[in-house]
Structure 1
Amino acid sequence: MKFEDNSGRFDLNAALERFSGDTELLYEAIAIFKEESVSHLKKVRRFLSEGNLQGVSEEAHTLKAECGAVGAVTAQFLSESIDKAAQTNDIAASNELYTKLEEEVQIAIDELPDIA
């Protein structure tokens, strides 16, 4: 697996370790992430618009795990931050972080490698 990241956004070496060095399995996880992350973002956005912070927290928590699994560390950090903000009923921070998370997940979708 060759993937250059000088931005610090990704840690594919750590992700590969999570999959016991199985590159094929990591590629499959990335493909799933690229599909599922969009759905989770839509749910977070919907829950934010409804003021459902428990829903925001749950979806952000799930997205955090998915981001971490594929080495999208910046998106993982932002997901965790939204989760925490929602748990403390900080809707303003949750909304502000959502915009950043949405951008970061899109970057991950665009830049993480596809199955070779």
Structure 2
Amino acid sequence: MNLNDNSKRFDLTSALKRFSGDLELLEEAIAIFAEEAVKHLDEIKIHLEQGKLKEASAISHTLKGECGAVGAVQAYSLSRSMEKVAAEENTNETLKLLPQLEKEISLALELLPKESKQLNL
């Protein structure tokens, strides 16, 4: 699987533009994203287990920004949806979104570092 197969999931070209064409800076951002996204997903899960949907919404907002910065478009969209339904304290919808978001973050963690290196070719 690569980004060509996932053009609706990722947009590295736009992400690179956000970093003024500085590929090294984008790669650093992707490395930071890899660390932070995992922590934020864990925090979201903990808040959901504790029934703290407002807190889960706030962390989803942070994750949304991180996804957008590195071009993880589908994860951005899911984070935005989770932020909204959690803020509305809709437990069922929030719990439905969690596995989808986890899957998209997992794909981003796998593919973005590899594919960012191909932008320089």
So what's the TM-score if we normalise by structure 2?
0.89
Pair 1:6 & 2:21 matched: no
Q: Distance in 2 between matches of 1:48 and 1:76?
A: 19
* Displacement after TM superposition at 1:89 (Å): 1.1
Segments of 5+ residues of structure 1 without an aligned counterpart are none
**SS of residue paired to 2:93:** helix
Structure 2 residue aligned with 1:75: 75
Q: Distance in 2 between matches of 1:5 and 1:18?
A: 20
* Displacement after TM superposition at 1:6 (Å): 2.6
Structure 2 residue aligned with 1:44: 44
Letter of the 2:29 counterpart: A
* Displacement after TM superposition at 1:55 (Å): 0.8
| Identical columns (%) | 47
**SS of residue paired to 2:4:** coil
Contact 2:37 2:105 in 1 (8 A): yes
Structure with the larger helix share: 2
User: Aligned residue pairs: how many?
Assistant: 114
Structure 1 residue aligned with 2:21: 21
Structure 2 residue aligned with 1:111: 111
* Displacement after TM superposition at 1:113 (Å): 2.0
Structure 2 residue aligned with 1:32: 32
Q: Distance in 2 between matches of 1:30 and 1:47?
A: 25
Letter of the 1:70 counterpart: V
So what's the TM-score if we normalise by structure 1?
0.93
